[in-house]
């Protein structure tokens, strides 16, 4: 990526912008290919979700994620550049597309600011390949036209545009200038389809997709036969609401109820939005330091402090849950070591408490070698035993057959990457597909020897209830 020593804030005029874009078009003509031009500005404090609501269009791609507890949020909308693919090499193909894009990128402004410079948003489905009828590709990555991000007290706005050798400079300059003016003095207003006053909680009728207890029973038979030691099976419920559903309004309910999770919304531009509040980080890389985690084994929250502590103690003593958790850690270590990564983690798991459930949790950290890319780590780790099974290949091969419905992005990998080698991805669980008055909600549980169909069903019921309560508000 070429970073030019220009300050858009100090040279903020339509004429200066037009001259700069003229230089970019000349560079595109010399190289015989379009340039991705990225302009970053530090702006007054903005709420990225409110900005996204104001420009939301159901037929335009968008990506949003935040962790309220850590004061970070990032939103991107519309497409400057995009790539989609499928197959076993999809992570590598997206990495190569990203690297080729950055070789032909010109960036100016506050590129080194938190979330400065062009960002690539990506969603990878659970399986390497998806059916033609599914709403999301197996891998979809894009650079948005407009990006707004918050990190602590710093808000950074980014405009990305593709400048071809024959680009209409006047049209491009006008579009960027309007965005510059808007972000410099953003005025919040009622977003289309996101009403301020609601007549009451949304009411749903529910239809189960499949027979979960029977699926668990069949999986236990395969475990007993030695086909695999663990498999994660999901349930899906199809909901029909008494009114049209707006994905970003529903996301507001999730972000408020689950402040310690990754609240997210992702749309491909065709069909539904995929929203959720995921408790599980898959990988984060910042300044060469890699962070991931094992999150497996769960129990409900108690009605009071004593019951809560008692349940947590029972979880820590549970042989089934400890075994499931240990398998996840062992799998993480085995998959990172071939990349030259030496994971570090505490000897015993801790309890991580969420609004509705308690999990066994082990943080994992490591130095990321210069030879390894975020997407190399993602390709090695996805899917973890926490959402797939163990051995991975044997378990994943049976999931579609046992569940009886396509997972799509459920339990897939969603996140962002920047031009500096950093990025963050989480697992698409505690999630729903939303379109019109319809939603499909997902929840899953790990099945191992000793699992009981009724108990696993009850665990997914607990997860469904938390989602439905949030979506109904």
Query: Active-site residues: which are they?
Result: 230, 280
CB-based contact 355:258 (threshold 8 Å):
yes
CA distance 64 to 51: 11
Q: Across 242-356, where does the E strand assignment appear?
A: 262-267, 273-278, 281-286, 289-300, 350-353
Around Cβ 271, how many Cβ atoms within 10 Å? 14
Structure token digits, residue 418: 């920047």
Cα angle, residue 75 at apex, residues 35 and 245 outer, rounded to 5°? 125
Nearest to 42 by CA among 7, 69, 85: 7
Task: Please tell me whether residue 368 adopts helix, strand or coil conformation.
Answer: coil
Q: Where are the alpha helices (DSSP H) in 157-269?
A: 169-184, 212-224, 247-257
Structure token digits, residue 384: 């973890």
CB-based contact 116:109 (threshold 8 Å):
yes
Interstrand relation of 389-390 and 230-241 (parallel, antiparallel or unpaired):
antiparallel
Task: Please tell me whether residue 63 adopts helix, strand or coil conformation.
Answer: strand
């Amino acid at each position: 990526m070429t970073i030019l020593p220009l300050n858009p804030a100090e040279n903020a005029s339509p004429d200066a912008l037009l001259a700069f874009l003229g230089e970019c078009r000349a560079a595109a003509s010399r190289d015989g290919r379009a340039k991705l031009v990225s302009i970053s500005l530090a702006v007054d404090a903005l709420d990225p979700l409110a900005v996204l609501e104001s420009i939301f269009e159901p037929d335009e791609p968008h990506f949003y994620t935040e962790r309220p507890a850590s004061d970070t949020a990032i939103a991107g909308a519309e497409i400057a550049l995009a790539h989609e693919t499928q197959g076993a090499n999809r992570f590598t193909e997206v990495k190569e597309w990203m690297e080729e894009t950055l070789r032909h990128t010109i960036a100016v402004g506050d590129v080194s600011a938190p979330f400065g410079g062009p960002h690539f948003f990506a969603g990878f489905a659970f399986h390497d390949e998806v059916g033609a009828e599914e709403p999301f590709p197996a891998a979809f990555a894009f650079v948005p036209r407009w990006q707004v991000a918050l990190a602590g007290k710093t808000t950074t706005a980014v405009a990305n545009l593709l400048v071809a050798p024959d680009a209409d400079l006047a049209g491009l300059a006008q579009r960027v200038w309007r965005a510059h003016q808007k972000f410099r003095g953003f005025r919040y207003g009622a977003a289309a389809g996101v009403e301020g006053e609601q007549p009451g909680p949304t009411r749903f009728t529910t239809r189960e997709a499949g027979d979960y207890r029977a699926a668990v029973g069949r999986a236990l038979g395969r475990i007993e036969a030695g086909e695999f030691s663990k498999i994660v099976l999901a349930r899906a419920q199809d909901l029909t609401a008494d009114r049209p559903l707006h994905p970003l309004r529903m996301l507001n309910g999730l972000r408020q109820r689950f402040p310690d999770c990754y609240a997210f919304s992702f749309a491909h531009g065709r069909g539904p939005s995929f929203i959720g509040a995921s408790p599980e980080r898959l990988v984060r890389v910042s300044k060469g330091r890699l962070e991931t985690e094992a999150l497996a084994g769960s129990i409900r929250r108690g009605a009071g402090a004593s019951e809560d502590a008692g349940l947590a103690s029972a979880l820590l003593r549970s042989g089934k849950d400890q075994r499931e958790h240990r398998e996840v850690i062992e799998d993480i270590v085995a998959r990172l070591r071939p990349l030259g990564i030496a994971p570090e983690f505490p000897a015993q798991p801790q309890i991580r408490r969420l609004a509705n459930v308690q999990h066994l949790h082990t943080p994992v950290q490591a130095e990321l070698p210069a030879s390894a890319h975020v997407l190399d780590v993602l390709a090695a780790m996805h899917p973890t035993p926490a959402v797939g099974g163990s051995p991975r290949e044997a378990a994943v091969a049976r999931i579609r057959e046992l569940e009886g419905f396509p997972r799509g992005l459920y339990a897939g990998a969603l996140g962002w990457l920047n031009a500096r080698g950093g990025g963050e991805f989480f697992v698409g669980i505690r999630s729903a597909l939303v379109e019109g008055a319809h939603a499909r909600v997902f929840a899953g549980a790990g099945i191992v020897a000793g699992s009981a169909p009724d108990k696993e069903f009850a665990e997914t019921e607990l997860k469904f209830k938390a989602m439905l309560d949030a979506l109904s508000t």
